[in-house]
Structure 1
Amino acid sequence: MNPKILEKFINTDEELSPHRGYLESIIKPSVDIFFSDDEAKDYESRFGGTPLVSKDFMWPTHEEGEYRFLGQINFSEISNCPEQLPKSGLLLLFYAYDEDGEIFWGDDGYVVGYFYPQITDLTLYEQARSNLKTKKILFSNGIEIPRHEDLRKDWPFDTEALYDLPDLEGYHEDYMLGYPSFCTLAYDPTPSDDWISLLTLTSYDEFEWCWHDGDKLMIFIEKEKLKNADFSSLKTDAG
């Protein structure tokens, strides 16, 4: 979320302001994602639509059918990109879909990623897989504190104050890095200390995204693999 807005929130909240030092010590960088009304160019970041792929690309499949294109992220569009993320290159994300709902968002391989360090030789996939809406996405640098008490065990204040965070102007439901955010879970969905939150997404009717009855999808990656821009093994949860 916007650092200035979060700072104002902490300063004016009677429960949080005495614990500024603690909150500053647990802040993590994030990249907020928001929609643009402009049409996305082939190489630009977007949700939905048609991916930019290599000539030898084969559309991913799973035991119940095909994956759906989630979106693509062009890292060069993120100004002052956090050190955890690549400074350039294109990441494609796909999620497993089946009409009968037999695929579970917690299964290995629910989301798969393809990373291209260079985009100059990529072309739009020739066979469109859906008529779903596409939206260009933009990025802004932000910071995150945990939005749920279940994400830490050392709170020095009443975590009831965290429930006011979604009411802040500049609060984004969709973002990269930071802490995972959820609606209905009662535990930290991060697989282990070796993993990091890569992407948190809410449900959208226009993309036919309905994660856990309209909640949020959280995608995680191992810290070491992210350092090497290796997106070949991702884990997910929803709630």
Structure 2
Amino acid sequence: MNPNILKEFINTEAELSPHKDYLKSITKPSVDIAFLNRDAEAHESRVGGSPLVPKNFVWPTHIKGEYRFLGQINFSEISYPLKVLPESGLLLLFYAYDENDEIFWGSDGYVIGYFYPDVKDLSLYEQSPAQYKAKKMVFSYGEEIPRHEDLRKDWPFDTEILADLPYLQDYREDYMLGYPSFCTLGYDPTPKGDWMSLLTLRSYEKFDWCWHDGDKLMIFIENEKLKKADFSNLKADAG
């Protein structure tokens, strides 16, 4: 979310202002995402359309059918001092889809990623089973505090106040890094071990995204693999 909006929220809420130091200590940087109402160019960060791929790319499949293209992130468009992310290169993300909803979003391989360091060597996949026109994805710097009591065990205040966060001006619910955000889960969806939140996305009817009956999709990556720009092993949850 917008750092200035978050700061104002903390400073003006009577229950939170005495805990500024605590909240500062648990604040994580994020990359807020917005989708523009215009078509995207081939090399741009976007959702939908056809992905940029290397020659002889084979569209991924799973036991129930084909993966769907979720979107692509051109890291050179993220101009913020977040050294944990690659400075350049293109990440393609796909999710397992089947018409009968038999594929569980928590299963291994529900979301898969392909990373290509050199964008200029890629071209549009001509046979792509695109579901909708590509829409431009844009980024802004953000900061996140945990939005759910299940994400920590050391809260020094009543966490019910966190329910007001979605009503803040310029509040973003689609973002990279930070903490995972969810609607209906009653637990921390981050996998056990050295994992971190990579991407959080809402359900969108216009993109035919319906995660857990209209909730959110959360994608996770191991810390050490992200440092190496290795997106070969991702995990997901929804709710």
Same fold per TM (> 0.5)? yes
Do the aligned residues in 2 keep the contact of 1:76 with 1:88 (CA within 8 Å)? yes
1:17-57 deviations in Å (ceiling 9; x for gaps): 00000000000000000012332111000011110000021
1:201 aligns with 2:201: yes
What's the counterpart of residue 237 of structure 2?
237
SS in 2 for 1:156: coil
Matching of residues 51-70 of structure 1 within 5 Å? 51-70=51-70
1:189-212 deviations in Å (ceiling 9; x for gaps): 000240000000000001110000
Q: How far, CA to CA, are the matches of 2:46 and 2:170 in structure 1?
A: 20
Do the aligned residues in 1 keep the contact of 2:48 with 2:131 (CA within 8 Å)? no
What's the counterpart of residue 154 of structure 1?
154
SS in 2 for 1:5: helix
Count, aligned residues? 239
Q: How far, CA to CA, are the matches of 2:84 and 2:203 in structure 1?
A: 26
Do the aligned residues in 2 keep the contact of 1:133 with 1:207 (CA within 8 Å)? no
What's the counterpart of residue 17 of structure 1?
17
Do the aligned residues in 2 keep the contact of 1:133 with 1:206 (CA within 8 Å)? no
Matching of residues 107-126 of structure 1 within 5 Å? 107-126=107-126
Q: Counterpart of 2:61 in structure 1: which amino acid?
A: T
Matching of residues 1-239 of structure 1 within 5 Å? 1-239=1-239
Q: Counterpart of 1:96 in structure 2: which amino acid?
A: A
Give TM-score scaled by structure 1 length: 0.98
RMSD of Structure 2 on Structure 1 (CA): 0.8
Residues 165 and 34 from structure 1, CA distance in 2 versus in 1: closer, same or farther, beyond 3 angstroms?
same
Q: Counterpart of 2:180 in structure 1: which amino acid?
A: P
Do the aligned residues in 1 keep the contact of 2:39 with 2:133 (CA within 8 Å)? no
What is the CA distance between 1:81 and its match in structure 2? 4.2
Query: Could you list the runs of 5+ residues in structure 2 that have no partner in the other structure?
Result: none
Q: How far, CA to CA, are the matches of 1:202 and 1:75 in structure 2?
A: 21
Q: How far, CA to CA, are the matches of 1:97 and 1:131 in structure 2?
A: 12
Which structure 1 residue ranges, 4+ long, deviate > 3 Å from structure 2? Answer: none
SS in 2 for 1:106: coil
Do the aligned residues in 1 keep the contact of 2:68 with 2:95 (CA within 8 Å)? yes
